Amino acid sequence: MFFSRPAVAVDPQKIEALLSRCVAEVVPSKESLRALLQSGKRLRIKLGIDPTSPDIHLGRTVPLLKLKDFQDLGHTVVFIAGDFTALVGDASDKESERPMLSEATIRQNMATYREQVGKILDLSKTEFRRNSEWLAKLSFKEIAEQANLFSVADFIARENVRRRLDAGKRVSLREVLYPIMQGYDSVAIKADVELGGTDQRFNILAGRPLQEHYGQKPQHALLFTLITSPDGRKMSSSWGNTVNIADSANDMFGKIMAVPDDFIESYFMHVTRVPEAAVKRLMDGHPKDAKMALAEEIVRMYHGADAGKAARNAFAHTFSEQRAPEEVPELAFKDTLMETLVTGGVVASNSEYRRLWEAGAIRYADSGEILRDSEAVTGRVLRIGKHRFVKIKNRP
């Protein structure tokens, strides 16, 4: 017996929400993509993420959630783990050359990507691909033909690349190849739409001339505004300022509670699917209540409703009574406490550590005493700021 696939949904309200929520730009236009979505054609929607870290963080869930929105409408979604592009390294938003990763590191980083992506997407309806499938097979002649579609001037006109060149910093030739590789991904999977942050604009638009070169219709680009991490910068694995979807429930809740009040509405809109009207009602109330609701919702998304409620209760208990929770992450002491906390992801950066230290915001959790000697921490639980706790173990 033949079973046809369900028709693609063309609900105008859902399409409008898809095209507006957190969307910064649509190329070539929002009107043309709206018409395509309303045509009822089943589109192929592409998102690629390079496994430069073993963790998928909330910043990367912004396009993943949008990919899920397309999936819910009945379109075909293609998630590409960039195991080959990760070897080369993306120059987007980088102020220095990204080192080439080894194949072993990439394999290790992407070991749980399918599982993590499955927290958002329905994997039974998802094409999960690796771009080594096609990029590793390209000949030098094919690469030369692709490169001929672009100029070096196009690449060096990018703001971050121009800053590096003006500062006398090295820009490697391999970095020039990255947009071509990402663009060819669109050719390989015949993408109709590619998703990504505004920092990916150049790379995503590279797919359009490449698709035309290979006789395909050029894809639409759907670009999103970026979220800011609790430390005020873009959330980035390389900076260690991330909220990871694999974090424990309590750790995830605590990190969200560190988000400045000004970011609460942006987080609701970018990394949850709480209806906009409900978000506005929450924002009309007290910021702490809105932030608690935000943290509980994010924990619910990745750990379940019971875990969300438990994390909220644990945080309220800990915060009100000023004592450590029952479960505290552990870190092995490195050469300094600063290195221990920064590399362990408890503190976002060296500068944040120094600010906390100078403010007397690193204390022994049991006594509340301000920490003065960073060598006397092994075996002790520390309170970092108001709500972060960590136990320092002896060196292995």
Same-domain pairing of 254 and 379: no
The SS3 assignment for 308 reads helix
Predicted confidence at residue 16, as pLDDT, reads: 96
Flag whether 258 is in a domain.
yes
pLDDT at 77: 98
Do 287 and 138 sit in the same domain of this protein?
no
Q: Which of 295, 321, 347 is the last residue of a domain?
A: 321
Q: Is residue 239 part of a domain?
A: no
Report yes or no: 355 and 230 within 8 Å, Cβ to Cβ.
no
- Nearest residue to 70 (alpha-carbon basis) of 186, 202, 194: 194
Classify residue 208: in a domain, yes or no.
Answer: yes
47 plus 164 within the same structural domain: yes
Write down how long the chain is.
396
Look at residue 392 and give its three-state secondary structure.
strand
Same domain, 316 and 342: no
Position 117 in a domain: yes
Amino acid at position 309, single letter: K
User: Do residue 76 and residue 199 come from a single domain?
Assistant: yes
Decide: helix, strand or coil at residue 384. strand
- Amino acid 355: pLDDT: 84
**Which two tokens mark 38?**
């309303």
Alpha-carbon span 363 to 384, nearest angstrom = 7
Task: Give the CATH number for residue 154.
Answer: 3.40.50.620
Residues 86 and 168 in one domain: yes
Average pLDDT across each block of 10 residues of the chain; the chain has 396 residues. List them in order: 67 95 97 97 96 91 97 97 87 61 88 94 96 96 95 82 83 86 97 95 96 98 88 72 89 88 94 96 93 97 96 80 72 88 87 84 78 76 84 78
Q: How does DSSP classify residue 57?
A: B
Please tell me whether residues 116 and 263 are part of one structural domain. Answer: no
Domain presence at residue 67: yes
Residue 260 domain-assigned (yes or no): yes
Looking at the structure, tell me whether residues 169 and 300 fall in a common domain. no
Last residue in a domain, options 321, 356, 378: 321
User: Which residues span the domain enclosing 256?
Assistant: 247-321
Task: Classify residue 6: in a domain, yes or no.
Answer: no
- Domain boundary residue among 302, 321, 340? 321
Give the chain's domain count. 3
Question: What per-residue confidence (pLDDT) applies to 381?
Answer: 87
Task: Say which CATH number the domain at 263 has.
Answer: 1.10.240.10
Both 193 and 49 in one domain: the answer is yes
Pairing, β 193-197 against β 126-130: unpaired
Q: What is the CATH number of the domain that holds 377?
A: 3.10.290.10
79 in Cβ contact with 129 (< 8 Å): yes
Q: In terms of domains, do 283 and 197 share one?
A: no
Question: Does one domain contain both 66 and 163?
Answer: yes
| Residue 234 covered by a domain | no
Q: Which pLDDT score, from 0 to 100, does residue 123 have?
A: 95
Same domain, 121 and 256: no
